[in-house]
Amino acid sequence: MLCQLNCNHKELTYYIGEENFDIIVDIVNKVDNLVYKGIVYELNKRSSDSKLVDEYKIQLKRLETVYHNIEIFYTQKSDSNSLQISL
């Protein structure tokens, strides 16, 4: 099963940044592929030596990083907008 997201990506990238958007799309595609390959089964049997589980953990770490980057992006954007308004 392949996942397809439909949204106005321009509006979303305004809030999170183009690079962050691209990374999230890549992560969703990779996790979707892991589901297709059986990651749910591997996680349910609590297999920690599985290559699928290792890849899943890598994608979760990437997601954690991109969430942090989005927070920085949004804070900088908000600070920039506040500065423009005060000028």
Residue boundaries of the structural domains of the chain: 10-86
Of the CA atoms within 13 Å of residue 87, those in its CB half-sphere come to: 6
Query: What six digits make up the tokens of 17?
Result: 């940044």
CA angle (20, 53, 69) in 5-degree steps: 15
pLDDT along the chain (87 residues), means of 10: 65 89 93 89 79 91 94 83 52
Handedness of CA 6, 11, 17, 19 (dihedral sign): positive
pLDDT of residue 87: 44
What's the CA gap between 32 and 55, in Å, rounded? 12
